[in-house]
Chains A and B, each alone.
Chain A
Amino acid sequence: MKTVIIGVIGADVHAVGNKIIDYVLSQNGYNVVNIGVLSTQEDFINAAIETSAQAILISSLYGHGEMDCRYMREKCDEAGLENIKLYVGGNIVVGKQDFTEVEKRFKDMGFDRVYPPGVKIEDALAHLKEDIGI
């Protein structure tokens, strides 16, 4: 069974989507380790090390995702998680911005998959299967 870490990064308390992601991924055969809201980059990384996770799915809803996610990839590299997949979704930036721009910025930061607002977790399942299997 593949293990994925999910959680909401930064000072963000939006908890509902996180619960849904947990449910949907578990239903689809993943071992979901949910570190919940208000999680730091280190929380995600430590969890991934202990559980040997293949992917980290970060949620950010409150608009400060870009700041909270900066250097996440570098820290993963530092922690020996060079091969881990990094996804991010929710409402990752403030307001309505041109998403191709936003996506490029997050990809430059080392994220493998970047999702615009309105994308449900179900829509990401195919990617997850492609990237890490089931």
Chain B
Amino acid sequence: MKPYLLVDFGSTYTKLTCVDLEKEYIIGTSKATTTVTTNVLDGYNKAFERLIRDHPEIKEEEIVGILGCSSAAGGLKMAAIGLVEELTVEAAKRACLGAGAIVNLVFSHHMTKREVKQLVEADIDIILLAGGTDGGNTECIIHNAKKLKEADIKVPIIIAGNKDAVDEIEEMYEGTNLQYYVVSNVMPQLKKLDVKEAKDIIRKIFIDKIIEAKGIKKAEEKIGQLIMPTPEAVLQAAELLSKGYEEEEGYGDLMVIDIGGATTDVHTIGEGFPKRTEVIMKGLQEPFSKRTVEGDLGMRYSANALLSLVSDYEFRKYFDEDDKCNHNITKSLNRRKDNVDFIPQTKDEEEFDKAIAKICCDVSMSRHVGHVEVVHTPLGDMYYQTGKDLSGIKYVIGTGGVLISNVDAKNILKQVNKKSDRILELRPNNPSFLIDKSYILASMGLLSQKYPRLALKLMKQYLL
């Protein structure tokens, strides 16, 4: 036996997955409550004890390697700043999301005092400052850089805008206490995205600094370096499963939907080009692996946000037809927000959780998926597509607490499907649904860094 350990420090649970590299199977998984406020290793140790208890065949000294990721202490929170909303602002956002962050604040054009104040007061881990194509507008990014300096920003600032502005910004920042990093422009030419350097530096800062600030650094004593934020691990797993590895074929275009306590993440892998020749692409080029995060869609922390998203009437449409309970929607949502450890005990409570999950699925899909717009021109109607056409997606994979343990998970996931009342949304037509029952996606993303073939094989086996 060659046990290899994968650790995910989640917002609620610290989850362990132990893989045997030799016999190529998952020996076991375990979890314990994440303990960032005291010592993050407490939770880890507890989970580890449970793993060993259930699988005495695992000998600690035989473990050949450990890799870890984290979304503990609120995950990685970023602010994205750019010039034009549809261009460099969007490019900046994509860089953050692709690196596994949640984008909590977004600013365009010249930042005002109010916006700077908002930024200072917000709980943000990293700022990404973009603006201008190379050789293009320098004035705006310099203005914003100056505002950040005046505000004496304490968190790392990544400068990923017009290269012509870099010298001036660096001169302005040199000798100050600002922690800044200069990388290549996220949009070097109009509508051309180049987010790789920005993503890499986000990951590096996450590993070097953020982990420490969030009290997760201690984990490194036991497991060595945490290598990425959890959502990035999930994205990498999804990419591998889609593309395959060498002669081991992948599943093709697919989607992963992760409904958590605070957010709902949607990942899609695939080009998403228009399926019909008369449809014309608009907007920025779409990334092959695309991730979106909805901070107002979640089972607990953000449950009450649903109140402002869907009316009481709409909410009721998500209950099963044979659900006879007269749910008090406001009360039930607030109860979950106020008590984030809430676990449904009765059938009615379960049904209510299911309805929340369905809404998370449905609304996050609407926001992630590409849309077609009909434009009336002198030459007749024309069709413009923004975002990805996902109608041909083959697999939809559900993960996250509610989905993996729910007997009705596939029914919840069906909410991503094409809807007759929203025909302009390019949703999946007829996908197969798989559930990450053993909760291994993030771990497999980690494992894929070293053993991609095995990670792929295990995903094919364990996603059901």
Contacts and interface: CB of A to CB of B under 8 A. Distances in A.
A76 B135 CA distance: 21
B379 A11 contact: yes
B136 interface: yes
Contacts of B190: 33, 35, 47, 50-51
B89 to A, nearest CB: 10
Interface in B115-136: 131-133, 135-136
Contacts of B382: 11
Interface residues of B, number: 22
Interface string A43-86: 00011011111000000001110010000000000000000000
A38 interface: yes
B137 A38 contact: no
A46 B136 contact: no
Contact of B133 (A10, A51, A63, A64): A51
Contact of B375 (A11, A46, A53): A11
Nearest to B135: A31
B160 to A, nearest CB: 14
Contacts of A38: 280
Contacts of B84: 46, 49-50
Interface size class of A (residues with CB under 8 A): 20 to 34
A11 B380 CA distance: 9
B348 interface: no
Determine the main DSSP class of B at the interface with A: loop
A3 interface: yes
B137 to A, nearest CB: 4
B83 A50 contact: yes
B193 interface: no
Given A11-B382, A33-B190, A38-B280, A52 B136 contact: yes
Interface in B32-80: none
6 closest A-B pairs by beta carbon, nearest first, are: A11-B377, A51-B136, A52-B137, A64-B378, A46-B84, A52-B136
Interface of A: 1, 3, 10-11, 31, 33, 35, 38, 42, 46-47, 49-53, 62-64, 67
Interface of B: 83-84, 86-88, 131-133, 135-139, 187, 189-190, 280, 375, 377-379, 382
23 contacts: A3-B136, A11-B375, A11-B379, A31-B135, A42-B86, A46-B84, A49-B83, A49-B84, A50-B88, A50-B136, A50-B137, A50-B190, A51-B136, A52-B137, A52-B138, A52-B139, A53-B136, A62-B378, A62-B379, A63-B378, A64-B377, A64-B378, A67-B378
Given A3-B135, A42-B86, A49-B84, 5 more contacts: A1-B135, A46-B87, A49-B137, A50-B88, A62-B378
